[in-house]
Amino acid sequence: MDDDFVLMDTEQPEQLPAKREQRTAPEKQETREQRLSIADVISDPALSSPAGLEILATANPALDQAAANDRLDQMLKSYGMQPEELASEKREQLLLLAASSDKARSRNTRQEMGALIQRKLHEQLVNMALLKIDDLGEQLHEKKHDPQTVEAKLRDFMDTLGRLSKQLPAEDRANAAFWEQIEGHYVAVIMTKKSAGKEVSRVMSRIFDEFADFIEDEILSREIERKKNKAGYFDYEEIAKYVYGRTPEEMEEQKTRNRERVAAAMEDMSDKPYVTTDMLLELYKINNRGIAAREMQRLRQGPDEKITFVKRMGIMPEDLPEEMTDWEQRVAGVCDQALLENWSDSRYQIAVTQLHNEFLEIHPFPDRNGSTGVMFMELMMMRRGYRPSRQRQKDYYSNVSKILGYNPVAVGVIGYEMARQRLEWGYFPGKTTKGKEEKYNEALTGLSGGEYKPRPAVQE
SS3 per-residue string spanning 152-176: HHHHHHHHHHHHHHHHCCCCCHHHH
Q: Which among 191, 222, 245 is the end of a domain?
A: 245
Residues 315 and 429 in one domain: yes
**CATH code of 376's domain:** 1.10.3290
C-alpha span between 355 and 320 (Å, rounded): 16
Residues 185 and 324 in one domain: no
pLDDT for the residue 185: 76
C-alpha span between 188 and 289 (Å, rounded): 23
pLDDT for the residue 201: 83
In a domain, 364, yes or no: yes
Helices (H), 59-145: 65-78, 88-103, 107-141
266-280 CB burial, b ≥16 within 10 A, e <16? beeeeeeebbbbebb
Residues 126 and 226 in one domain: yes
**How would you class 96 by CB atoms within 10 Å of its CB: exposed for 0-12, middle for 13-18, buried for 19 or more?**
buried
In a domain, 260, yes or no: no
What does the pLDDT profile of the chain (460 residues) look like in tens digits? 333 323 333 344 444 444 444 444 444 444 555 556 666 666 666 666 666 666 665 665 455 566 667 777 777 777 667 777 777 777 777 777 766 666 666 777 777 777 777 777 777 777 777 777 777 777 766 666 678 888 888 888 888 777 777 777 767 777 777 778 778 777 877 877 777 778 888 888 888 888 888 888 778 877 877 777 776 567 778 888 888 888 888 888 889 999 999 999 999 999 999 999 999 999 999 998 888 777 778 899 877 677 888 899 999 999 999 999 999 999 999 999 999 999 999 999 999 999 999 999 999 998 889 999 999 999 999 999 999 999 999 899 999 999 999 999 999 999 999 999 999 999 999 999 999 999 999 999 988 888 888 876 554 4
pLDDT for the residue 77: 73
Residues 68 and 171 in one domain: no
Residues 72 and 147 in one domain: no
Cβ within 8 Å of residue 300, ≥6 positions away: 306, 307, 314, 317, 320, 363, 364, 365, 366
Residues 426 and 338 in one domain: yes
Reduced to 3 states (helix: H, G, I; strand: E, B; else coil), residue 311 is coil
The count of structural domains within the chain is 3
Distances in Å between the Cα of 181 and the Cα atoms of 120, 133, 168 are 16, 11, 13
pLDDT for the residue 18: 43
Residues 236 and 304 in one domain: no
Q: Which among 38, 70, 105 is the end of a domain?
A: 105
* Residues spanned by the domain of 96: 3-105
Residues 180 and 240 in one domain: yes
Distances in Å between the Cα of 223 and the Cα atoms of 24, 205, 324 are 57, 19, 29
pLDDT for the residue 14: 42
In a domain, 42, yes or no: yes
Residues 293 and 318 in one domain: yes
C-alpha span between 125 and 161 (Å, rounded): 9
pLDDT in tens, 432-456: 999 999 999 999 998 888 888 887 6
Residues 94 and 189 in one domain: no
Residues 128 and 225 in one domain: yes
Residues 317 and 433 in one domain: yes
C-alpha span between 285 and 16 (Å, rounded): 75
In a domain, 255, yes or no: no
pLDDT in tens, 89-122: 777 777 777 666 666 667 777 777 777 777 777 7
pLDDT for the residue 164: 74
In a domain, 270, yes or no: no
In a domain, 460, yes or no: no
Q: Which among 105, 132, 151 is the end of a domain?
A: 105
In a domain, 68, yes or no: yes
In a domain, 387, yes or no: yes
306-336 CB burial, b ≥16 within 10 A, e <16? bbbeebbbbbbbebbeebbeebbeebeebbe
